[in-house]
């Protein structure tokens, strides 16, 4: 893997994420990169479903939100340290997704897409009424939990570096799957599921597996994000618009590509940051996202990378 240029491109991106905010202790840059990292994590993992297996998942935010809840709850109610809480969040959400996946992945096309929205609404309704998780009020954690990490100031840096690690893991995971036999089977499913099954691809198992794998790292990212906020409530954790944004990002960069999705996520985050801070455009990014999605679907279905590939075919060998 380390002989491929892709490996070094990702390594360079991670290095930039790590060192850029360290220079001059630039906290505001760091906070911007936190969001960029989260978009990259959500979009890359969504891409496993969307770009590889060809299944549109509107509910990827459930992984993020549930991961956040499990992590925050374990830390708050059982005084678990951060690391095992994150791991428990990842594994717990993956196992749940595998079970959900076996059920809903019998559906295809628009029916599957609708069922994923149903899962977001269902999980949100459940959590709102689940007392151990604070119902609709959510869970607050005391700032004391940051003490083991060296106080709130240092804890924010630790959380940031962990998020960057999860981002790097997401990109390498996308690449590893794409170049594996599992990935080949997924791509075949994405192209023509019936033909894939006839060629011997174990379609139900592969689909449930990729759904579950695509839940793991977003769940950990959710754990980190809500631990950082020290607060979680259902409307933040299961915000359907973030799911939709992740879809836009994946399609903007080029579904099925690893680099494209990461670049798309970064560009989108920059745009969103700009629109959010300019006074006249509060929440206007959702309008832009919607318009962007329309333009992409109508005119650039293969996204940014599709455009680059067709312009410069040699880049196909370098950028995955």
Partner 1 sequence: MTANATPILQLDHVGKRFGGLQAVHDLSFVMREGEILGLIGPNGAGKSTLFNLINGVFAPNTGRIVFAGIDITGQAPYLVARHGLARTHQIVQPLTNMTVLENCTVGACFGRENLPLGRAREVAREAAIGVGLEDRLEMLALHLTIAGKKRLELARALAAQPKLLLLDEVLAGLNPTEVEYMIAVIRRIRDRGVSILIIEHLMQAIMSLSHRIVVLNYGEKLAEGSPDEVARNPQVVEAYLGDPKLAAELQAGDATPASQGEASQGSASNV
3-state secondary structure of 105: coil
Residue 131 or 194 having the CB closest to partner 1: 194
Does position 210 interact with partner 1 (CB under 8 A)? The reply is no
| DSSP states along 25-79 | T-HHHHHHHHHHHHHHHHHHHHHIIIIII----TTTHHHHHHHHHHHHHHHHHH-
Nearer to partner 1, 166 or 187 (CB): 187
Quick check: 5 binds partner 1 (CB under 8 A)? no
Q: Which residues contact 169 (CB under 8 A, 6 or more apart)?
A: 217
Are 12 and 262 in contact by the 8 Å Cβ rule? The answer is: no
How far, in Å, CA of 65 to CA of 87, rounded? 15
Q: By CB under 8 A, what part of segment 20-49 binds partner 1?
A: none
Taking the complex as a whole, how short is the minimal distance between the CB of residue 291 and partner 1, in angstroms?
A: 27
**Cα–Cα distance for residue pair 61/257, rounded to 1 Å:** 21
Q: Tell me the two tokens of residue 258.
A: 């690893």
Structure tokens at 58: 């509107």
134 neighbors 9 (Cβ within 8 angstroms): no
Does 197 engage in binding with partner 1 (CB under 8 A)? yes
Q: How far is the CB of 180 from partner 1 (least distance, A)?
A: 7
Least Å distance, CB 5 to partner 1, is 20
Of 196 and 319, the one with the shorter C-beta distance to partner 1 is 196
Q: How many CB atoms lie within 10 A of CB 78?
A: 10
CB of 293 to partner 1, least distance (A): 21
Closer CB to partner 1, 203 or 214, in the complex: 203
Q: Provide, rounded to whole angstroms, the least separation between the CB of residue 299 and partner 1.
A: 18
Per DSSP, the three-state class of 268 is: helix
147 contributes a contact to partner 1 by CB under 8 A:
no
What is the smallest separation between the CB atom of 277 and partner 1, expressed in angstroms?
40
User: Measured from the CB atom, is 79 or 311 closer to partner 1?
Assistant: 311
Q: Residue 245's closest CA among 302, 201, 289, 189?
A: 289
Q: Is 199 in the site for partner 1 (CB under 8 A)?
A: yes
Strand partners, 140: 231
Quick check: 198 binds partner 1 (CB under 8 A)? Answer: yes
The nearest distance, CB 177 to partner 1, in angstroms, is: 12
Does position 202 bind partner 1 by CB under 8 A? yes
Binding to partner 1 (CB under 8 A) within 167-196 occurs at 180-181, 184-185, 187-188, 191-192, 194-196
User: Alpha-carbon distance 125 to 145, whole Å?
Assistant: 28
Nearer Cβ to partner 1, position 48 or 219? 48
Q: Over the Cα atoms of the chain, what is R_g?
A: 19
Number of amino acids touching partner 1 (CB under 8 A): 19
* Nearest distance, CB of residue 184 and partner 1, angstroms: 6
Residues in 251-270 at the binding interface with partner 1, rule: CB under 8 A: none
Q: What is the secondary structure of 272-299 as a DSSP string?
A: HHHHHHSGGGTTTHHHHHHHHHHHHHHH
Nearer to partner 1 among residue 2 and residue 19 (C-beta): 2
Any idea which residue has 């679907």 for tokens? Answer: 297
Q: Do 183 and 53 touch, CB atoms closer than 8 A?
A: no
Q: Whole-number minimum distance, CB 179 to partner 1, in Å?
A: 8
Cβ distance to partner 1 smaller for residue 154 or 317: 317
Q: Which residues bind partner 1 (CB under 8 A)?
A: 180-181, 184-185, 187-188, 191-192, 194-204
């Amino acid at each position: 893997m380390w002989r491929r240029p892709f490996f070094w491109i990702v390594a360079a991106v991670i290095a930039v994420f790590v060192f850029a905010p360290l220079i001059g202790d630039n906290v505001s840059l760091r906070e911007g990169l936190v969001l960029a990292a989260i978009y990259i994590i959500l979009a890359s993992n969504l891409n496993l479903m969307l770009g590889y297996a060809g299944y549109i998942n509107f509910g990827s935010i459930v992984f993020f939100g549930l991961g956040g809840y499990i992590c925050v709850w374990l830390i708050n109610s059982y005084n678990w340290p951060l690391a095992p809480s994150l791991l428990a969040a990842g594994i717990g959400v993956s196992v749940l997704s595998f079970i959900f996946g076996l059920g809903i992945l019998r559906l295809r096309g628009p029916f599957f897409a609708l069922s994923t929205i149903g899962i977001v609404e269902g999980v949100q309704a459940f959590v709102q009424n689940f007392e151990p998780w604070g119902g609709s009020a959510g869970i607050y954690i005391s700032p004391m939990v940051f003490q083991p990490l060296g106080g709130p100031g240092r804890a924010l840096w630790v959380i940031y570096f962990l998020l960057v690690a999860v981002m790097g893991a997401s990109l390498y995971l996308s690449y590893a799957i794409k170049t594996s036999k599992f990935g080949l089977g997924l791509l075949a499913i994405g192209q023509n599921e019936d033909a894939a099954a006839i060629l011997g691809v174990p379609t139900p198992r592969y689909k449930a597996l990729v759904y579950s794998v695509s839940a793991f790292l977003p769940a950990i990212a959710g754990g980190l994000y809500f631990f950082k906020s020290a607060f979680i409530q259902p409307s933040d954790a299961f915000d359907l618009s973030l799911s939709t944004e992740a879809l836009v990002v994946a399609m903007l960069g080029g579904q099925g590509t690893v680099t494209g999705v990461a670049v798309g996520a970064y560009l989108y985050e920059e745009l969103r940051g700009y629109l959010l801070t300019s006074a006249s455009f509060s929440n206007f990014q959702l309008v832009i996202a919607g318009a962007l999605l329309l333009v992409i679907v109508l005119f650039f279905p293969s996204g940014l990378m599709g455009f680059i590939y067709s312009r410069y075919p040699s880049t196909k060998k370098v950028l995955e």
